[in-house]
Amino acid sequence: MNRDAELSLDRIARGSSLGRLLTRICFGVLVLVLLGPFFVMLSTAIASNRAVVAIPPTWLPDQIALSNFREAFSVIPLARYFLNSGIIAGGATALNAIAAVPAAFALARLRFRGRRAFLIFIIATQMISPVVLLIASFKLMLVLHLLNTYWALIFMDGTISLPITIWIMTAYFSLIPQEVQDAATLDGVRAWRMLKDHFVPLGVPGIVTALIFSFVIAWNEFVFALTFITNPTIRPLTTGIYAFMGQSQIQWNYLMAASLLAIVPVFVIFLIVQKRLASGLSAGAVK
Amino acid sequence: MAGVVLEGVVKTFGDTTVVERLDLEVRDGEFMVLLGPSGCGKTTILRMIAGLESVSAGNIVIGGRVSNWVHPSERNIAMVFQNYALYPHMTVARNLGYALLRQGVDKQKVARAVEEIAQSLGLSTLLNRKPAQLSGGQRQRVALGRAVIRQPQVFLMDEPLSNLDAKLRVDMRNEVVRLQARLGTTTIYVTHDQIEAMTMGHRVAVMDHGRLEQVGSPLDLFQRPSNSFVAGFMGHPSINMFRGSISAGPGSRMFLGEGIRLELRNVDIGASEVLVGIRPQHLVAVGDASDGGARGACVGQATVDFVEHLGTESFALLSIANRAAVAAVDPAAMISRGTEVSLFCKQERVHVFDAVTGRRISAETDGTASPSE
């Protein structure tokens, strides 16, 4: 190799390593920005209330107060709120499973007039902010006598996430080879059996992905919970821990400890199903 | 068992006609091959027979019953798909027995039938595996077994061997032929591979652009193609087609075009522009023109581009009047790139087609030619 060629290769190598360095710096800054709130949440959750409001503020408390986690349970009925959130998110997810799986199968594989328009309509509903529906939904729940019941939030949270779960499952079901459906048709399989015997078992990654979305949306929902539920015994976590924000004082340490605990179930679910989640999302992306 | 009759069958998708008014009878117990290039409509025909596509016009008659509106599962047919279409989430045993279970057959009877089929197809040790754990050939056997176990009155096969490697394809080809002969079940087999068509079918239906071009025995199609498309599609290497004109001579007519000059007898030709087809097996290239006498008349001169030795036979790729052609050569002859050769052909081996319509206008061949000759 001649000297000029060596020099130009060297320049390219230096150029690319400089590019890599800049990329890493950019990513590093991005990660710091994203993790910043989590860090503040964690440092506040393990600090005493006095340390939280100290001036000048400190990044890390001098003394770690793990007792915040225990005391958060005694100050408010946090365990009850966990249970309530579980019931509501579980119910909303079940509602999604019951409604979205057959809907997605029909949209992916049955031929009927207006199929495409309906699919577009479903995704178009995502453009409407749930807050816009708040008053109408409140009146609806009032008429149905569902205010201050789990059902109000199960129906509402389930409905909010239904379009996205239908969309993800439709995309996934569309990837199941047509020949498998044809073979099953020749074997005497009709629509419901097709769904039960073939599309559900083959569509598990897509179904799981969609239902996790549904669960997380319901678990994190705040506005409807605040509007529909005033009875403290059926409050979910999101509005339950809101009690730490008093009119005269905010108990930041308890609030952050409870918030941190509230993340745990979702975090664990993501950890367990992360591989399937990735395949389910990418399947939806290419279709 | 049952025959299948297609009566004026038409299939359109929007403004596109995929199958044009097709009339075809597949006799009871017959092995019929639908042959044609990709997109010619052969798979659509198979899917219409299966009931997986609706018929735009005409009738599909299976076992004497018009079946246009009969649900696929009630047509008593079984289909083998190109990519096998096995149920990936079910074991081999469940794949094999699934159709019978859906028909409400007793579980013990299904288990016995699965065992029998598995034994006959060499799948006994694989019954608990999932399709992903099988080789291509094993999957193909499962697909065949799944069709056979139902004891249908018609088998439909959609290019079932196209995903296999060359050797396995030949093995499976023989296995399918043996299976069909043993069961005597009416079979309609779709392929674009003319070797498969020639070696497997009792009769072959050649299709192009949704039209049925010709139906006949494999040798019929090879020896007496009804048009230039069939002549070009059947046979390997492909037939040489020379475009030229006819001039009347004393007692015969002469063809002249693209470096070929030959006398045509017994040909009633109205057209002046024709295509002359000579199969490479019947166009013999010799280095010394005096050696060619027994091989017919000398029809032209060419230059050898290169020689392909296939073991049992050899072919020379030639340049003749600025176009390519293929001719048979004696493997022992000292012919190589750049050799000037003379081309010989027997008049009865020549196929003549109308240059405009492509229809055959030449007289009979002598009937002794064969694809592998």
Contact A182 B52 (CB under 8 A): yes
Q: Give residue-wise pLDDT tens across range A1-16.
A: 566 666 666 776 666 7
pLDDT confidence band for A69 (50 / 70 / 90)? confident
Give yes or no: residues A41 and A72 share one domain: no
Cis peptide before A177 (omega within 30 of 0): no
Cβ-Cβ contacts under 8 Å, A179 against chain B: 81-85
pLDDT (mean) for A220-228: 93
pLDDT at A219 over 70: yes
pLDDT confidence band for A284 (50 / 70 / 90)? very low
Residue A55 lies in a domain: no
CATH number corresponding to B4-228:
3.40.50.300
Report d(CA B51, CA B6) in Å as an integer: 13
Q: Give residue B372's pLDDT.
A: 39
Question: Among A54-68, A204-218, B176-190, which is the least confidently predicted range?
Answer: A54-68
Contacts with A63 (C-beta within 8 Å, 6 or more apart), sequence order:
A48, A51
A183 and chain B in contact, CB less than 8 A: yes
How many C-beta neighbours within 10 Å does residue A86 have?
15
Cβ-Cβ contacts under 8 Å, B50 against chain A: 182, 186
Report d(CA B13, CA B342) in Å as an integer: 51
Give yes or no: residues A120 and A191 share one domain: yes
Give yes or no: residues A14 and A91 share one domain: no
User: What residues of chain B have any CB closer than 8 angstroms to a CB in chain A?
Assistant: 47, 50-52, 72-74, 77-79, 81-89, 98-99, 102-103, 146
Choose the most confident range, by mean pLDDT, from A95-104, B77-86, B328-337.
A95-104
CATH of the domain at A241: 1.10.3720.10
pLDDT at A92 over 80: yes
pLDDT (mean) for B256-281: 78
* pTM exceeding the 0.95 threshold for the entire prediction: no
Place of tokens 């091989």: B295
Give yes or no: residues A231 and A265 share one domain: yes
b/e string for B94-118 if b means 16 or more Cβ within 10 A?
A: bbbbbbbebeeeeeeebeebbbebb
CATH topology of domain B238-354: OB fold (Dihydrolipoamide Acetyltransferase, E2P) (2.40.50)
Select the more confidently predicted residue: B6 or B163: B6
Looking at the structure of chain A, the number of domains it has is 2
pLDDT (mean) for A194-223: 91
pLDDT (mean) for B304-321: 85
Q: Give residue-wise pLDDT tens across range B128-183.
A: 999 888 888 889 889 989 998 988 999 999 988 887 888 888 888 888 898 889 88
Q: Give residue B267's pLDDT.
A: 66
Residue in A180, A186, A190 to test binding to B, most B beta-carbons within 10 Å: A186
pLDDT (mean) for B85-107: 91
Question: Among B173-182, B188-197, B289-298, which is the least confidently predicted range?
Answer: B289-298
Residue A57 lies in a domain: no
Structure tokens at B247: 């001039």
Q: Give residue A87's pLDDT.
A: 96
- Please report the number of interchain residue pairs, chain A to chain B, with beta-carbon separation below 8 angstroms: 53
pLDDT confidence band for B269 (50 / 70 / 90)? low
pLDDT confidence band for A283 (50 / 70 / 90)? very low
Residue A62 lies in a domain: no
Contact B99 A185 (CB under 8 A): no
Give yes or no: residues A37 and A76 share one domain: no
Give yes or no: residues A27 and A87 share one domain: no
Closest chain B residue by Cα to residue A182: B52
b/e string for A105-125 if b means 16 or more Cβ within 10 A?
A: bbbbbeeeeeeeeebeebeee
Cβ-Cβ contacts under 8 Å, B99 against chain A: 186-188
Q: Please, are residues B303 and B267 in contact by the beta-carbon 8 Å criterion?
A: no
CA distance to B196, B264, B297, B353, per residue, from B249 (Å): 43, 10, 17, 19
Give yes or no: residues A90 and A166 share one domain: yes
Give yes or no: residues A143 and A247 share one domain: yes
The type of residue at A262 is A
Give yes or no: residues A198 and A242 share one domain: yes
The mean pLDDT of chain B is: 85
Closest chain B residue by Cα to residue A201: B89
Report d(CA A26, CA A32) in Å as an integer: 10
Taking the CA of residue A245 as centre, how many other CA atoms within 13 Å lie in the half-sphere pointing to its CB? Answer: 7
Contact B52 A185 (CB under 8 A): yes
Q: Give residue-wise pLDDT tens across range A107-120.
A: 998 888 888 899 88
Look at residue A49 and give its three-state secondary structure.
helix
Cβ-nearest to B83 among A177, A193, A202: A177
Closest chain B residue by Cα to residue A204: B89
Residue A53 lies in a domain: no
Torsions phi, psi of B123, nearest 5?
-110, 5
Range(s) of the domain holding residue A148 = 68-286
Contact A188 B99 (CB under 8 A): yes
Residue A146 lies in a domain: yes
pLDDT (mean) for A41-54: 83
pLDDT (mean) for B88-113: 92
pLDDT (mean) for B103-115: 92
Closest chain B residue by Cα to residue A180: B85
Cβ-Cβ contacts under 8 Å, B51 against chain A: 185-186
Return residue ranges of chain B for CATH 3.40.50.300. Answer: 4-228
Q: Give residue B369's pLDDT.
A: 41
